[in-house]
Amino acid sequence: MKMRAHTINGGKAEGEAVVYNGPFSFLGDLDPATGKVPVPRHPLEGKSLANKVFVFTTGKGSSGGDFAAWAAKKNGNAPAAIICLESEPVLSGSVIVTGIPAVDRPEGNIFELIKSGDYVKVDATEGLIEISTK
Amino acid sequence: MLLTDEEKRMIDGAYGPGTKRAMELLVKYGESFDAEKFASISYGHISYDFCPEEFWDLMTERVSRTQHRVTTHPSYSPEVWKQWGLPLADNWAGEHQRKLKRFLELGWLRTETCAEYLLGITPRKGDIVSMGGSCMQVANNSLFGARVDRMGILISLAAAVCGRTPLMGLLLPENRYASHLVELDDLDVTNWTLSHYHCLGYYIGDQIPGFKPVAVNGLPPNVPFDFARALVISMPTSGAVTLAHIVGTTPEASTLEEALGSKKPEHVLRVGKREMKKTWEKLNVWDSDVVEHVAFGCPHATIDEIGRIANHLEGKKLKTSMLIGASAPVEALARRQGWADIIEKAGGHFQSVCPSITNPFTRRDIAGEKQAKSAATNSARCAHYLATVCRVKVFFGTEEECVKAAITGKWKGELPK
């Protein structure tokens, strides 16, 4: 299944989807040393986001999200691509600075149509999402 | 984006490769938000220590001294950490020194604080400021009426280099009215402490989607500065709120109608005792009651906070380590008052570092095997980052409870009534 979305940062990537119906910060919600979510009692606690297509609602938290994203990317522990409902400046700055393909404002309901474990291709330059159900 | 001749010269490389790269990045960033042009900044605020060195070098390569003022966020002090006996301090020294040298060459100011308004560096209402540091973004926007958009630390360096920021988001007056209204239900704020305002702000930030401006209604008029600050700065920790009007207190919210731009709010959030209690519980992440460290000064402490802590610590000895995040000028004033001495004699420390994200006592990569495994704080923002970035057990409570914990080494905090 294919879906259109708005480009935040161009590029192409694909991988297994991790879906979280909530906001995300690169600083605090992703351990750059392991690629895992370290937050106590978080629904994704202990799950890896490294090289995944990470689907969530929007950015949040400290403006240090971008340097944390930079560290994760250098360590090979950043998500391969990002799909969110609507971005905000810290999240957009993070993916632009680190070169992570990212889209927002998808035309379909991503939380209905994408499940964790699905295989997702993101062509962020063209603003295209392609979902292969698990 | 539509560029002026000067901005075109920047992107064409007339001012060297650093400015060129910074401008290219700002254009890409602005265009992703459909910004049409840039605004000149009154001043810029960056963080050299939080900036990866590779990125710092790329952005500052052959940049000349800027005409506009640039200030900086809390910094590292590896040489002091070494004096404190923290085993991995040396690992931080080289990069810090190299970036600091370049920072000073650029003629930039070593304010090294997340609370510059305490140093008299205060934007006027309507001033456009580009800055990293979500807690000073929301404070300058909300408490002083400056025009500050949400922005990351790395983008803020690009903006400081060029003296430009994309004209978008909260820089545009029409985007500054609150779309989300917070109403207080059964809360009696008469005996509230700083921690209560932190807790309320943390809850609100968590509940507001994206970075929609918020109006908080129902607090007494002219909420004291420290309380108003605690309320607004906690919001971009759990969420992304970057402008929070406090009706009857902040400059763009003398009335509810002014805060809302005479429109109906998109959403009304009600907060009562139940939400306060649940949030307070959520901020506490611990199993045993043993406290190894106490962190104050998130955001950087006011002189009044330091005075109160000193008052509690006169003639006492601490069982835990204690760090008070404070800017050098505020620390200097505390020293003149005799308060810094009292706190240091008890075993506490001052530093213009971030006591949350890079607290040297709770960071494994600074303190090594001396890392404190549990820490108490009266700041929701600090509690959040101690738990998630430093990965230690966290006690959240009032200033008084935290001081007691520092003296006894045990946590006896209570939930709000």
pLDDT at B69 over 80: yes
B49: confidence class by pLDDT, cuts 50, 70, 90:
very high
Q: Which amino acid makes up residue B8?
A: K
Angle value at C-alpha B379, between B376 and B385, nearest 5 degrees: 75
Cα A39 to Cα A26: distance, rounded to the nearest angstrom: 12
* DSSP at B71: E
Q: How far is B282 from chain A (nearest CA, A)?
A: 9
Q: Tell if the CB–CB gap between A38 and B25 is shorter than 8 Å.
A: no
A96 touches chain B (CB under 8 A): yes
Query: For residue B337, which phi and psi values (nearest 5 degrees)?
Result: -75, -15
pLDDT at B16 over 90: yes
Contact A111, A68 (CB under 8 A): no
Strands B129-131 and B69-72: unpaired
pLDDT at B402 over 90: yes
Mean pLDDT confidence for A26-35: 94
pTM of the model: 0.94
Q: Is the peptide bond before B299 cis (omega within 30 degrees of 0)?
A: yes
Number of H helices, E strands in chain B: 17, 14
Residue B221 has a pLDDT of 96
pLDDT digits (tens, 9 = 90+) for A82-125: 999 999 999 999 999 999 999 999 999 999 999 999 999 999 99
Q: Is A62 a catalytic residue?
A: yes
Contact B176, B212 (CB under 8 A): no
Q: Which residue has the tokens 């002091």?
A: B80
Contact A90, B150 (CB under 8 A): yes
Mean pLDDT confidence for B257-286: 97
Q: How far is B37 from chain A (nearest CA, A)?
A: 16
> Helix or strand or coil: residue B360?
coil
> Helix or strand or coil: residue B195?
helix
Q: Which amino acid makes up residue B85?
A: G
Residue A41 has a pLDDT of 87
Q: Considering only CB atoms, which chain A residues are within 8 Å of B238? A: 60-61
pLDDT digits (tens, 9 = 90+) for B288-336: 999 999 999 999 999 999 999 999 999 999 999 999 999 999 999 999 9
B52 touches chain A (CB under 8 A): yes
User: Exposed (0-12), middle (13-18) or buried (19+): which is B274, by Cβ within 10 Å?
Assistant: exposed
pLDDT: which is higher, B357 or B210: B357
Angle value at C-alpha B241, between B38 and A21, nearest 5 degrees: 110
Q: Tell if the CB–CB gap between B154 and A67 is shorter than 8 Å.
A: yes
Partners of B226 in beta bridges: none
First to last CA, chain B: 53
pLDDT at A134 over 80: no
Contact A127, A6 (CB under 8 A): yes
% of chain B surpassing 70 pLDDT: 100
Show the tokens assigned to B6: 């000067």
Question: Which residues of A, range 55-84, sit inside 8 Å of B by Cβ?
Answer: 57-67, 70-71, 74
A133: confidence class by pLDDT, cuts 50, 70, 90:
confident
Q: Could you say which of A25, A48, A62, A63 is catalytic?
A: A62
Contact B23, B11 (CB under 8 A): yes
